[in-house]
Amino acid sequence: MEHTHIPTPISKKFFTPGVIFLTLLAANGIVFLAGRFLFGIGAVTNLNDQYPWGIWIGLDVAAGVALAAGGFTTAALGHIMHRDKYEAVIRPALLTALLGYTFVAVSVSIDIGRWYYIWHPLIMWNGNSALFEVGICVMFYLTVLYIEFLPIVTERFIGKVNLPWFFSRFNKLIDGLLRRLDKGLSKTMFIFIIAGVVLSCLHQSSLGTLMIISGPKMHPLWQTPILPLLFLLSAFAVGFPMVIMESLAASRSFGLKPETEILTSLSKFVGPLLGVYLLGKIGDMVIRETFVYLTEFNSISVLFGIEIIFGVIIPLRMFLSSTVRKSPSGLFIASLLVIFGVFFNRFNNFITAYNPPYALESYIPSFGEISVTLGFIALEILAYRLFVKIFPVISIPSEKVKIKTKYAIRGVVK
Nearest to 380 by CA among 111, 97, 33, 152: 97
pLDDT at 276 over 90: yes
**What pTM does this model have?**
0.89
For residue range 219-231, list pLDDT tens digits in order. Answer: 999 999 999 999 9
Q: If one looks up domain 2-400 in CATH, what number appears?
A: 1.20.1630.10
Model pLDDT, residue 4 = 63
Could you give the C-alpha distances from 138 to 38, 199, 209, 347, 387, in angstroms and in order?
Answer: 27, 8, 15, 20, 22
What is the pLDDT of the chain when averaged over all its residues?
A: 88
- pLDDT at site 138: 87
3-state secondary structure of 411: coil
* Predicted local distance difference test score (pLDDT) of residue 31: 95
- Among the listed residues 76, 78, 57, 75, the one whose alpha carbon sits nearest the alpha carbon of residue 66: 57
**pLDDT tens by residue, 75-105:** 888 888 878 788 888 999 999 999 999 999 9
Maximum average pLDDT range among 133-142, 203-212, 378-387: 378-387
Parallel/antiparallel/unpaired status of strands 2-7 and 395-400: antiparallel
What does the DSSP assignment read for 360-396? Answer: SS-----HHHHHHHHHHHHHHHHHHHHHHHHSS-SEE
Half-sphere exposure of 170 (CA within 13 A, CB side): 8
Ranges of each domain in the chain: 2-400
In angstroms, the first-to-last Cα distance of the chain is: 17
